[in-house]
Amino acid sequence: MPDIIIWLYEKTIFIKTLKKAKKIICSSDFVRLNFLKDYSNKTLTITPGIDINKFKPMKINVKNKILFVANLKKAEQYKGLEYLLLAISIVKSGIKNIKLIVVGSGDYANYYKKLCQKLKIDRNVIFKGRVIDKNLVREYQQTNVLVLPSLFESCPTVLLEAMACEKPVIGTNICGIPYLIKNEENGLLFPPKDSEALAETIIKILNNPIFAKSMGENGYKKVKENFLWDKQ
């Protein structure tokens, strides 16, 4: 029933609203160019802004540490944590002390914890639950790379927050993510649902600290030039 309601809304009320609107603000060029082409004469992109006084680099020595930030709800399975856990099980065979920090809470947390046990990576994955902003910044600063294996995104702020902390990022080459990640410049892209390819990108970053540092610096520069909170 909810799917039918959503479909009816999109085909009736939503369309009427778009037609009547004098201006339509989009959170990314991906949305503007792919979903609102018929309204190009009145669309405007205003992306999320990042406070670099809050999300900022800090030199902390960490090794083989990966970060995932998202709600762990059944409705948000599209965030792709399952594919990341499968990738960790692959990476673990070569990097025994790998650690994945999962920040977020939701009704599907126990499902992911059981999957970790099934994959025998429960000692490699730490579920932090929901964290306050101050601690979230610290999680970004204390990781080697942020991974976002989503199946759909518009303009994910977690990528920008990690980049503001001068961290390389990994994401799927789908939807709005490639608008933020330029492959091998400020991060790495991989095909959606491909855990083996994801494992390869993780290994590439963890085994090449100079390469990772360069991507982190480029990401910070990208945020500073295009995504500052007070310039949006």
- Residues constituting the chain: 232
Give me the residue spans of the domains in the chain: 2-45, 65-226
First to last CA, the chain: 38
Per-residue pLDDT of the chain (232 residues; tens, 9 = 90+): 445 655 555 667 777 777 877 887 777 777 777 777 777 787 777 778 899 999 999 988 899 999 999 999 988 999 999 999 999 999 999 998 999 999 999 999 999 999 999 999 999 999 999 998 889 999 999 999 999 999 988 889 999 999 999 999 999 999 989 999 999 999 999 999 999 999 999 999 999 999 999 999 999 999 999 888 766 5
Global confidence as pTM: 0.88
CB atoms < 10 A from the CB of 39, how many? 15
Phi, psi of 126 (to 5 degrees): -115, 120
Integer Cα distance of 227 and 89 in angstroms? 34
HEC secondary structure over 8-43: HHHHCHHHHHHHHCCCEEECCHHHHHHHCHHHHHHE
CA distance linking residue 102 with residue 84, whole number of Å: 11
Instruction: Give the H or E element holding residue 88.
Output: helix 81-91
Q: Report the CATH fold assignment for 65-226.
A: Rossmann fold (3.40.50)
If you search the block for the tokens 């309601």, which residue do you land on? 5
